[in-house]
Each structure stands twice: as structure tokens, then as C-alpha cells.
Amino acid sequence: MKIAVFDTHSYDRDALTLANQQFGHELHFFEARLTAQTAGLASGFEVVCPFVNDKLNAETLAQLYQVGVRLIALRAAGYNAIDVPEARRLGMRVVRVPAYSPHAVAEHAFALLLSLVRKTHRAYNRVRDGNFALDGLVGFDLYGKTVGVIGTGRIGQAAIGIARGFGCRVLADDLYPDTALAQAMGFEYVPREVLLAQSDVVSLHLPLTPDSRHLINQDSLHGMKHGAILINTSRGALVDTMALIQALKSGRLGGVGLDVYELEEGVFFQNLSDKPLQDDQLARLLTFPNVLITSHQGFLTREALGNIAQTTLDNVSAYESGKKLENEVS
């Protein structure tokens, strides 16, 4: 099938092209993000392949349908940027990649955490400037600390496994607690307010929904243990950025590691090094020495990229052959 792949970078093209050797689809790569303004590029394609920050609202979907698109093959797990009910109303199918590599994201969460805990990001810059002093670099052991994991899906479970490997006590919160899983992995489900109050580290591993938007807000931040570290590798809008800035200013948080940001659209995945940063909230976050931000790269491993490409193209092939769409968003 002819597939219009939007918001592509070199790593997307390489992974999809390699995986496509066994599928034989016709791939066309566009650097532009998929929006109402760029939907016309999909003319002549039955399939579009967007990424996480492409905006498929009702207007975009109407234009895609008008030019012949009938399948949206999202190469990501989250689908909050797609108006799924409108797509269904138009008769368009939406498929996703639900579990491309839980280990990639969970490991990145701990990469952020370890950098913050041991201040390696600051030490790296000091040494490059010839400063070998250790003042201000005192960290703490993860061993024996309490890690709170909100969301115990596949990524959350991978994070719990890593935390247990460090010798941490793990508390968890999930809409659908699995007591058998908790017993097998050695963690405990507790009410969210208990998790926040007792955890030295809080790590978010859940999807963005209307109910989870700004899950971390002024009230929940106030309920966190003083000096705790917050890690978010899931979706930016799980965290109220203004409330986060206030908590950092007051010294309540010991550190923040973000791989996602609620206003990342138009900023992340781009090289803006020669331009002034227009986002005042992001600029403010970057001034804090105990904040570490990466630009949504938790998925960026060879293994995860290969799995994403394989599942994306497999979804398209299933649609083409009329098979059941195992990864359809319903």
C-alpha cells in the first residue's frame, strides 16, 4: 500500500525502510507534521503514518478523508492527538503501536533519575570547564529509598523491575490494580495520596486522558514528600507546568526529570539552537539546576525503533488483507 509518513527524521526513515523489506509497501516520507495545513500532501494515499505530536483533529481528518485516506497507522502508543470518535464517524480506522519497547522508556526514566540523584549532568559540564571540585555534587543512594510508580502497564512494570533491582521499596497506583502482579514483583498498591507522601521518587507511566490531565498539579505537588524527585517519561500534560515551576521555586522538589513537556509541540524534535526560545515556561524550567529535560527520546533505541516500524507496517498489512486489526484504537 502507499503510505504517507509524516513528521519523519532520519531514524524513522532508516527503521521503516529496513522493516519494509519484508512487507513491500510504498513509503513516501514527509518532514512536515500532519496538520490541517499539510493534510493535502496525503492526496493519493490510502494510509497516513503520523507521529505523536501530529494534530489529527476534526478538520485534519475531514481533509484526509476527502483526499482518500482510510487508515491512520500511528507509529506511537499514545493517540490523544487524534479525534478518534470523529475518525470512526468518517469510517476511518486508527491503529497504533501499543508496546514497542517498555524497557527503552523505563530505562530512560532511570537514566534521568540517576543523573539527577548523582548530579552527573552538572559534573560533566564542570569537568569540561576544568572544574574538578566536588562541592554541591552530594547525592543520595537509591538503595532503600521508596519509589512511587503511577501506572503499572508494561512500561510501569519495567520501571518497577528496575527499581526493585536497585533495592528500592516500590509503591504503585493504578486504575486497575493487579494484586497478583504486585505479589509476584514485590510491590504494594496504595492510594495515590499515600504514594505521593511516602515516595522519595515519583515516576509517571500512564496515558494522557481527560481524567489524567494535570494529574500532577498544585495539590498533588503539595502532597509530595519534601525533596522528592519527579520523573515523567509518559505525556507532558500529565503535569501542570506552572504548578511545577512554583514547586521548584519553593524548594519542595529535590529534582525533576522530564522527557515530555505539555507544550512540546513545535519545539521538541527540532533544532532551535540558532533561535531564541519562545516558550517562557520551558525557558524557566531550564534555569533550575535540579531540572533535567530531554526532548522525548525515551523511545529512541535501535530495538524500540525496529519494533515500532515492524508493528506499524504489520498493522497496515493486516488492514490491506482484511484481517482483524489487533492494535486498533476503539
Residues that are catalytic = 235, 264, 296
C-alpha 136/C-alpha 1 separation (Å) is 57
C-alpha 311/C-alpha 137 separation (Å) is 43
C-alpha 57/C-alpha 10 separation (Å) is 26
Number of CB atoms found within 10 A of residue 24's CB: 9
- Provide the edge-to-edge strand list for the sheet that holds 26-29: 26-29, 2-5, 47-49, 71-73, 93-95
Angle between helices 102-118 and 154-165 (to 10 degrees): 40
Kindly list the distances between the CA atom of residue 114 and the CA atoms of 120, 128, 297, in Å, as whole numbers in the listed order. Answer: 8, 20, 16
- Strand positions, DSSP E, 130-216: 146-150, 169-173, 188-189, 201-204
Helix/strand/coil percentages in the chain, nearest 5 = 40, 15, 45
CA atoms 158, 161, 162, 163: torsion sign: positive
What residue has cell string 494529574? Answer: 215
Tell me the three cell numbers of residue 277: 526560545
Number of CB atoms found within 10 A of residue 324's CB: 6
Tell me the three cell numbers of residue 170: 516500590
Number of CB atoms found within 10 A of residue 226's CB: 9
C-alpha 251/C-alpha 253 separation (Å) is 6
Q: Letter for the amino acid at 120?
A: T
